[in-house]
Structure 1
Amino acid sequence: MRPLLPRTVLVAIALSLGFAVTSCGPPPGSEAGAAPTPKATAPQPTPEHQQSSPKGPERRPLAPALNGKAIGPGGSLQGTGGTTVALTFDDGPDPVQTPALLDALLQNHVRATFCLVGKQVKANPALVRRIVAEGHTVCNHSWEHRTDLGDLPDREMLSDLSATNDAIHEAEPKARIRYFRAPYGKFNKRMVDNAALLGMNSIFWDVDDLSYKDEDRGTGEVMVAFMSKRIRTLIRPGTIVLSHDFGRPQTPVTYRNMLPWLKTQFSLEPLPVTDLPDGR
């Protein structure tokens, strides 16, 4: 059964049909080489979802601006805007790697941000509940990790993002989804604006640990050493670190080794949502 869009989003979708559709090309620094999740068709809006309202779209409160000065592609946030460091993990939840990563984070008393793919959420709802229960922030990473998400009409783009939010809330109603990350980091302004209509800030990154480069370096000790050296070299206060847990066994190992050192050097915090009003 197709997930239905929330009433607020339906209004936004209807009005978006009258917007001019523009597209910025793929930005530099995208997640080239990251493995997309298996293909599926995101739920599409039905005709009754396209009715207009004279009041116009109602914007929900956005997540904190993080005092963000570093702006990434399309107007996304490229840093935390302070001294804290945010570890972010994309493409999950993965039934094997995500629990291993959560165990490492729990052991070290560190909370992070998980950018979740809708299809993976539907397949692993218990992991979403664990992510939320252990104090991590959840982030919308689209329904199926499409490379062309930014090229879709506004209606289809909003449907994709809304279906992902609905899947997360079906798995864990308490989840507060205040962030969005584009597949491969391919942000454009329309995508950032549409995420804002759903109450989400768009987040990029300024350090990429290249965990998806396992085809070049392998998944064993060599790759772990490569990722560890890259993190030590590039990380600094205010960094958003990009990593991947889906299908990446090197990621839990790397962070299990690195977390004790990272804790001595930086304040590690999930992207904040606790000072925001609830509601969807």
Structure 2
Amino acid sequence: MSESDVIVPGSPAVPTPEAPPGAAPEAPPVPVAAPSGLPVGHAPATPTAPRPPRRLLRAGGATVAAALVGVVIGIGIIEVRYDDPAPATAAPTPASAPAPSATVTPFGAKSNGNHFGSLRDLLLPVPAGYGLGADDGGFGNDVELTGEQLLAAELDDEVVTMPKEQQDKLRKYWNDLHVKAAGVRTYTTQAGDLTVSMKLRQFNQQEVQKLNEYTAIFTGETGIFRTGPAVPGHAEAHCYLLPAPPSAPIDRLECSAAEGDLLVVMAVEGVAPLPKDRIVALLAQQLDRLAIPGASV
């Protein structure tokens, strides 16, 4: 709320005293200062009949205007003003209504598919029944990395054993992706029987789409992976189960999806059989959070 001006009513004019007949003229009175410190003008006295001598009137019933009290509440400031009753010499200027402030969205998606804001904000908040999980390798359990940090965390460890020529090709491919950032958040159930890692990788939209399509083809036609569950309302999401013997006590599932300039990768590990409905529900919530305005799914 914008601050209001304090209005101090002007003091009433002080008439000039009349000298009695035969008396020496008195020195002119000194102008009395108003409570605000501004000089007060003298109203001309035009008596219609002789009056008895009067003494100088002293200023009485002075207006007391308390200072504005700024009270900070939430995001605004409430201003309180107290005025003692006094004869007003001028009508107060009405305070203009504060201009409505535009709501600023800290994160989201533009209509062209590019996302803005922190990737930690774009990541799905910890759902009910879950807590933050363990660190995902060298990433941590709730972190955002720049493209350079991601390169150091993921690529450097993988290319050190490659020949120099292959290292250069892989680094060039990585640089051509124009990776901006990556966000990672892990979740675990309160019972500790299921852990989830959610990653967002932000780079060129065309490359995001290509990688997601490649994942669908690679996992669907090789026969190495087991078919995973579908994600209702998100045909662009692909899930698959990693190879494991039928009697394995632990099972693993991975999913990927493309949302504009974000590649979403979810990795799940838990006690077999995995609760697939709960898992795809988490992914659906994450994808809904990244939804592009006006896009149809």
**TM-score category of the 2 structures, normalised to the smaller one:** under 0.3
Q: When you count helix as a share of all residues, which structure comes out higher?
A: 1
TM-score (normalizing by structure 1):
0.21
Q: When you count strand as a share of all residues, which structure comes out higher?
A: 2
Q: Which has the higher contact order (CA 8 A, sep 6+)?
A: 1
